[in-house]
Structure 1
Amino acid sequence: MKKYLLTFALGFVSLTSFAQSTYEKIMIEKIAKLETCKSVDDFQVLANDFDRIGKKEVKEWLPSYYAAFAYIQKGRLLMRDGKMTELSAQANIAEKYLDQAETIAGKDNSEIHLLKKMVFSLKMMENPAERYMTDGMKAMEELKLAEKLDPTNPRVTLIQAEDTYFTPEQYGGSKVKGLEQFKTALEKFNAFKPKTTLDPNWGKGEAEYFLSLDSKK
């Protein structure tokens, strides 16, 4: 009887390990695609993929996190193309996924709070004059919390650099200061090691891009 129980236990462990490795394999494949997406449709397809993964892996927070990130990136592309009236819709969907991720991961997750910052920034950009004191303030609060929870998080410094770089000088921005922050972000990226192969590790290429622009002057 003990032999059968042992065989069953080993079989169960093997099945669990196989399921876990399949999940990791799929996630690695989808996460890699975040770097190659070039269009709104690309990010939408990827967001749908992460949504399906999350519905199967209900105990994992990262599928919901990456679904939110895909919607945020989709919104940033729409903003680049001047489609400002569509930003809140994308941000609201991303926020829903972040709430799901937070339910699983807990409230003390720097990466989730950083994406919440980006969500509120998207909402604000739909109408900055009206929403700065609401969504703009919430974005700042989320960024401060993300930094407090993990001061070594290079993505926090990256988004701070973006804000500084693109904010007009009359409102406290500075391209010079922004570039200094991009340098700091890159230093943090070079020292950063994600906890697992699936944990957030995006952003280094963006810091390098802005610094390369400066070097060409």
Structure 2
Amino acid sequence: MVKRGATSDDILGTAAMLVCGRALRLIRGDLRRVLTALPARAVPGRRAWAVDGHRSVAEADGHLARLLDDGLPAVLRGAGTALTTVFAEETGLAATGPAGAAASAPVIEVGQTLARTVRALDELVTGVQTVPAGAPVQPGPGESPYAVAEFHERSRGPVELIRGAAFQVPAFCALLDLYRPAPPEHPPTARHAVWQPLRETVRLTGGAAHTAARLTEDLDTTLRSASRMRLSPF
């Protein structure tokens, strides 16, 4: 459904919110996987990693939930309230707020929320990366030292990916923040220009969340597998 007379700015703005909404739900799904895995799966010898990581990720998940509950807006400037409401219902988005400075708020809020998310994931893996290569780590009761070493070796690639995303996302969010002035002060192509940093912010955060989910879920498998090898009579 496209209103006759809708501008490319309306179409791009609505499409961006649709993409963000779907991506945020996928990211929340990965954060829930992390939260499910963390309480029972702490890095051996570094229990605070799970406790602090769970707290940070839970806060980020809460910010994402509030953003989705409030509703990302459809963009249809110049239309009446009735048409805007119908358009929002058709797209599954919220009705557009009043014109003015608030028009830039959804883009900036998405960026800020994703920045909090990737920062929480960075905090989650900090405890893993601070273990030097080859350093001995004290295993917990009943845990194999071979499992500890194996996990730390296998985690280095995913940890670097997450930390790399955490390094890049703030820079893209700084570009999104340039969109803060009221629309009359924007150049005609402002929303088109803001799409690239928004896309990269979503892409990097989504990749980091999925990697963190796989990392935390893989920990239990690694520990059990290595322990079975150590205890095997063969």
TM surpasses 0.5: no
Higher helix content, 1 or 2: 1
- Please report the TM-score for the alignment, with normalisation by the length of structure 1: 0.29
Highest relative contact order (Cα 8 Å, sep 6+), 1 or 2? 2
TM-score w.r.t. the length of structure 2 is 0.27
